[in-house]
Amino acid sequence: MRAAPERLAGVWVVVAAYNEAGVIADVVGPLVGAGYAVVVVDDGSADNTAGVARAAGAATVRHAINRGQGAALQSGLRYALDRGARILITFDADGQHAVDDLPRLLQPILAGEADVVLGSRFLEHTAAVPPLRRLLLRAAVVFTGVASGVRLTDAHNGMRALTRGAAEQLDLRLDRMAHASEIIDQIARARLRVVEVPVAVRYTPYSLGKGQRAGNAVRIAWEYLFSKMNS
């Protein structure tokens, strides 16, 4: 499934990457091939993530030091907005998302039905999620739902699409993983129209190794709650 190229004018895919030189070309290549403008934010990688991403056809922004995924995404959004992006997509760098899901992600925005479209691995595709991860993600959904008032099926999916107007209202201040809940929170506060669409998440040993460990959940929750109390 491919979106018509003319519909992709002004559609930017923002990829936050940290030490992903080994896989970033496989992520950027298909995106560029499908006609998307791609910006990879190299978040202070020790390897040649930026160079590989550029060679694969992406624009790059390089953080001098590692600031975390939330910080990198915010930088990428700024970059794309500065270049007149009409629609902005966030996309994980570890190869867990499928380019083929993007047209489905874009559809509600192109149809004018949503300001924000969130990918969910739980609307379909549930079989592929490892049990412990599924439990954690369910907990995150409940937690985010209670804290932000937005009911979702998947709170921590890295694949999202935002209109320019929605992206301009985001100001991610939680540098590390808690930004996923923070995004939902800011979407709720700005009263943006949110739609979830099913997307596939490919779990590979590589992406699982890169993903969040159970112990981090407490830290993420703390960071998020603390920022809510002090905002």
Partner 1 sequence: MRLFQVLALPFVALMFVVSARSLLSGRVRPVASAFWMLVWLAAGTAIVVPDATTRVAKVLGIRRGADLLVYCMVLGFLVGFYVVYLKFRQLTREITVLTRELALRDVRDGTERDHSSAAAARN
- Neighbour count for residue 172 (Cβ, 10 Å): 20
165 near partner 1, judged by CB under 8 A: no
Among 16, 24, 45, 79, binds partner 1 (CB under 8 A): 79
Distance CA 176, CA 2 (A): 32
Map residues 19-58 to x or -, x wherever contact with partner 1 holds by CB under 8 A. Answer: -------------x--x-xxx-x--x-----x---x--xx
78 near partner 1, judged by CB under 8 A: yes
* Residue 8 CB contacts under 8 Å (≥ 6 apart), including other chains: 34, 35, 36, 37
Residue 209 buriedness (CB in 10 A; 0-12 / 13-18 / 19+) = exposed
87 near partner 1, judged by CB under 8 A: no
- Neighbour count for residue 207 (Cβ, 10 Å): 17
Among 16, 23, 52, 71, binds partner 1 (CB under 8 A): 71
HSE on the CB side for 53, CA within 13 Å?
A: 30
Minimum distance from CB of 205 to partner 1 (Å)? 31
Distance CA 219, CA 176 (A): 10
8 near partner 1, judged by CB under 8 A: yes
63 near partner 1, judged by CB under 8 A: yes
Minimum distance from CB of 135 to partner 1 (Å)? 30
Task: Decide whether 191 or 231 has the Cβ nearer to partner 1.
Answer: 231
Task: Decide whether 87 or 137 has the Cβ nearer to partner 1.
Answer: 87
Minimum distance from CB of 125 to partner 1 (Å)? 29
Structure tokens at 118: 């969130």
64 near partner 1, judged by CB under 8 A: yes
222 near partner 1, judged by CB under 8 A: no
Task: Decide whether 34 or 217 has the Cβ nearer to partner 1.
Answer: 34
CA dihedral 130, 196, 117, 38 (to 10 degrees): 30
- Residue 95 DSSP symbol: S
Distance CA 105, CA 107 (A): 6
End-to-end CA distance of the chain: 42
Task: Decide whether 107 or 227 has the Cβ nearer to partner 1.
Answer: 227
Contacting residues toward partner 1, per CB under 8 A: 5, 8-11, 32, 35, 37-39, 41, 44, 50, 54, 57-65, 67-68, 71, 74-75, 78-79, 82-83, 173, 175, 230
